[in-house]
Amino acid sequence: MRKCWLALLCSAVLCCAPASADVKPSALFSDHMVLPSGMSVPIWGTSDPGEKVIVSFHGQNQSAITDADGKWMARLHKLKSSGPFEMTIAGMLHEDQEIAAANYPEIRMFTGKDTKSYTPQSEIDGKWLVCTPETVPGFSAVGYLFARVPHRQLGRPLADRGTVYRQIAGTQGDVLITPA
């Protein structure tokens, strides 16, 4: 069977879940790439070990799990000659696995209770939480990853301080900063 190469002009759109790591496809998979038709096509890249990656292309959704070395590969089924198409590559954490593995007693988060005031306050009602599989569902996903990623890389927390999580809907950042 004769295999012919066809230009499938594609746009790569990288999407990440809020709590996911950086899913990075190989540089081959970017704007205006050309893929072969009539054969299975591997798509590969890097991400955090154990992360699920989904490649969506022309009606296909193929997934792969990142290996211990941080590499993943998904295979698209035989492609037909046509195009252009859009490809989406997204990472998804296995939430249950992430929660079960969240045993970092050195990582702590302070969660303050919602109070409204137009002036700075010297006290806040809240508590410190130690990072365990039982408490991590209450953590801010961004705060958790901000603490966990350096902890995994360095083998210790980034700083001797915990993460302070204080969410105030609709608040501008400048009102939370003391003027110089």
Say if CB 60 and CB 38 are below 8 A apart.
Answer: no
For the chain, domain boundaries: 5-93, 99-169
Where residue 161 falls (left for φ over 0; alpha for ψ -120 to 50; beta otherwise) is beta
**Of 31 and 9, more confident:** 31
**Of 124 and 96, more confident:** 124
Return all residues near 67 (Cβ < 8 A) that are at least 6 apart. 49
**pLDDT value, residue 19:** 40
Instruction: Decide: residue 89, CB within 10 A, 0-12 exposed, 13-18 middle, 19+ buried.
Output: buried
CB atoms inside a 10 Å sphere around CB 107 = 24
Residue 7 confidence (pLDDT) above 70: no
Residue 52 confidence (pLDDT) above 80: yes
Fold entry, domain 5-93: Immunoglobulin-like (2.60.40)
Q: What is the pTM of this model?
A: 0.44
Calculate mean pLDDT across residues 30-50: 87
- Among the ranges given (27-41, 128-142, 146-160), the one the predictor scored with the smallest mean pLDDT: 146-160
**DSSP 8-state symbol, 19:** T
Calculate mean pLDDT across residues 150-166: 67
pLDDT in tens, 61-86: 898 999 999 999 999 998 887 777 77
**pLDDT value, residue 51:** 85
Residue 121 confidence (pLDDT) above 50: yes
**pLDDT value, residue 43:** 92
Q: How far apart are CA 55 and CA 86, in angstroms?
A: 11
